[in-house]
Amino acid sequence: MAYSDKVVDHFTNPRNMGSFKKDEEGVGTGMVGAPECGDVMKLQIKVQNDMIVDAKFKTFGCGSAIASSSLATEWLKGKTIQEAQKIKNTDIVQELNLPPVKIHCSVLAEDAIKAALADYQKKADGTTTDAK
């Protein structure tokens, strides 16, 4: 299968690869997928005053999964929580030119965004449960 230039670029030069401490203030962590399915994404956001000031990812998965999460961190930075909620998997598909067989990678990235946002919200609401 041939990969789009953008997938190759994100795979070769991943943006914002790494981790924040999960218990750091303002950090929301989303972890989705399962090792048996061949992909696990961890996406983290750092929020200050409702604004996502930083984002990081780590992904176990194919090149398209890595590219989808790398792109997601790029898009998240500088967005408000409300704006971030609007990122759709179809936007990722379009931007990375993903073939049908790789659409699930974009779905996983959207799920990871949602999970990170929910985790941040939960922490902001005063609960201290760790993200899952």
Partner 1 sequence: MKLPIFLDNHSTTPMDPRVLETMLPYFVEKFGNAASRNHAFGWAAEEAVENARKQIAKLIKADPKEIVFTSGATESDNLAIKGVLEMYGEKGHHIITSTTEHRAVLDTVKVLEGKGKATATYLPVDKFGMVSPEDVRNAITEKTILISVMLANNEIGTINPVKEIGKIAKEKGILFHCDATQGVGKIPVDVQDMGIDLMSFTSHKMYGPKGVGALYVRKKNPRVRIVAQMDGGGHERGMRSGTLPVPLIVGFGKACELCEQEMGKDTARLIAMRDRLEASIMKALEESYLNGHPTNRLPGNLNISFAYVEGESLLMGMKDIALSSGSACTSATLEPSYVLRALGVGTELAHSSIRFGLGRFNTDDEIDYTIKKVIEIVTKLREMSPLYEMAKEGVDLKSVQWAAH
Grouping H, G, I as helix, E, B as strand and the rest as coil, residue 84 is helix
Question: Residue 34 CB, nearest distance to partner 1 (Å)?
Answer: 3
Q: Total number of residues binding partner 1 (CB under 8 A)?
A: 32
Nearest distance, CB of residue 127 and partner 1, angstroms: 18
Q: Segment 36-95, which members bind partner 1 (CB under 8 A)?
A: 36-42, 58-63, 65-66
When asked if residue 132 is in the footprint of partner 1 (CB under 8 A), the reply is: yes
Positions marked active-site: 37, 105
131 binds partner 1 per the rule CB under 8 A: no
CA dist., res. 41 & res. 80, Å (int): 22
Residue 15 is classified by DSSP as S
The reply to whether 116 sits near partner 1 by the rule CB under 8 A is no
The whole-angstrom separation of Cα 87 and Cα 96 is 14
DSSP character at residue 122: H
Q: Which residues are within 8 A (CB) of 15 and not within 5 positions of it... i.e. 6 or more apart?
A: 70, 71, 73, 74
Residues found near partner 1 in the complex (CB under 8 A): 3, 8, 11, 14, 17, 19, 31-42, 58-63, 65-66, 101, 104, 107-108, 111, 132
